[in-house]
Amino acid sequence: MSLPSALIRRNHSVATRCVRLCRALACAWAVLASIAAVAACGAGVPHPAPVQVLSNYERAGNTIRRDCGYSSPLPGKPGWSLWLFCDTVIADARGGKAERLILGTDTAAVGPYRAGRAPARLSEISTPPAPLTLPSAGPPQPFLPAPQGLLLPGGMFPCTGPGAYSASWISGVTREQSASAFSGLLISYDDYCVTGNAGSLTVEGFGLIEYDPASNLLSSPARVFGNVTGLQLPPQQVLGSPVFAGDGYLYLFGFCPAAAPPAGCGRGRVFLARTVAQPAYWQNPLTYQYWTGGGWSSDETAAATLITVGRPLGISVGDYAADGRGLVMVEQTSLAGGFQAWQARSPTGPWRLILTGRVPCGRDAQHGTGGLCRAIIGHPELSTRRQLLISYFDPGNSHVDVSAYPW
């Protein structure tokens, strides 16, 4: 979240999610570059060698360029995890010209994982509700349904026309801990109207959707917060990183970058919202409460920041209790790959800074070394007691890579 605030906020843990080969993003990149020039870079730990997250389709000799990667262990299938990616480009046989663009939605893959390593044998998932074939070497396919009812910014006309389209981008995924119909995974997403050849992204909705990986079924999308006038949602309602803390509540996190309004909130802020951990509640906007620093309020404007010295361009929060770390927040601090990691025993904190670093992005031919490095996301199931594993979009190879950091 930094440049137009919607562009960074839309990803919740990503500065932008679209792949660099798409001409539609040229405008957005120009703005992002100006923000990267003033954003502070992380420092502290060495840059470990990156490892690509690979699917069987890629291992068969095909080329995929894709942005951002969220993951979660699969319920009922130990040692396997689901990966959710943002915009995806399937290149031609030579890995050059784009052959197929999957934009404005997400793609998914599933496969075995091992803590301490990046997954390398993921099977791309067919668009739900098509039956799963595992293992598979098939190509990526759209995962989430296209959002409905989005409007051009500030108007009453549909989000369509030259250079405009509706988009849903995932902002987090976690295993459910409730008696829902699916009892599978809960996915958070944000809806955007993309206009002006991706030069402007207006976030108009936040929603949740359940996924049953055993049957490859998605529930109906539940848009919790939405704007019927094409105006941008307040940052407190642009949420992601769902966490079940075991106390009967579902917690979600939002943020606002350290920038002058309207692009930011002055100082960087991270918000916390909660609702009862049952579908009837998390689908109802009237049940959401915000942490004020001393209690809970239904007024989003009363939301306090969880961290006082942060400069978030994106965040991802997960439960690392199995690694002896409790809750961990990975905060992206620059578009050159800088990040900070924070630790807390409960969602309300206090949050303690435990790590500062920078992911080893390669050279982007358009913006130079480390330019537009983004989508810095932590992965509890891949991490260990000694290492935090983080994925990120590397503009040098237009791919999702993973690196490990001692903590």
Q: What is the pLDDT of residue 163?
A: 84
Give the residue-averaged pLDDT of 68-96. Answer: 88
Which pLDDT band holds residue 154 (cuts at 50, 70, 90)?
Answer: confident
> Given a cut of 60, is residue 352 above it in pLDDT?
yes
Calculate the alpha carbon distances from 227 to 98, 182, 188, 193, 222 in Å.
Answer: 34, 28, 17, 11, 14
Give the residue-averaged pLDDT of 181-203. Answer: 84
> Given a cut of 70, is residue 149 above it in pLDDT?
yes
Tokens of 149: 């009812």
Reduced DSSP (H G I as helix, E B as strand, rest coil) percent helix, strand, coil of the chain, to 5: 10, 40, 50
Q: What is the pLDDT of residue 76?
A: 87
CA atoms within 13 A on the CB side of 80: 15
Q: What is the pLDDT of residue 30?
A: 31
| Pairwise CA distance, residues 282 & 277, whole Å | 7
> Given a cut of 80, is residue 216 above it in pLDDT?
yes
Torsion of CA 382, 319, 178, 122, to 10 degrees: -20
> Given a cut of 70, is residue 4 above it in pLDDT?
no
Sheet-wide strand order for 338-344 = 314-319, 327-332, 338-344, 352-358
Which pLDDT band holds residue 312 (cuts at 50, 70, 90)?
Answer: very high
Q: Are 229 and 223 in contact (CB under 8 A)?
A: no
Q: Are 347 and 315 in contact (CB under 8 A)?
A: no
Give the residue-averaged pLDDT of 102-129. Answer: 94
Which pLDDT band holds residue 264 (cuts at 50, 70, 90)?
Answer: confident
Q: Are 89 and 101 in contact (CB under 8 A)?
A: yes
Q: Are 344 and 377 in contact (CB under 8 A)?
A: no
Q: What is the pLDDT of residue 28?
A: 33
Tokens of 146: 């296209």
Q: What is the pLDDT of residue 366?
A: 57
pLDDT tens per residue, range 354-401: 999 999 998 765 555 445 899 999 999 999 999 999 999 999 999 999
**For residues 177 and 30, which has the higher predicted lDDT (pLDDT)?**
177
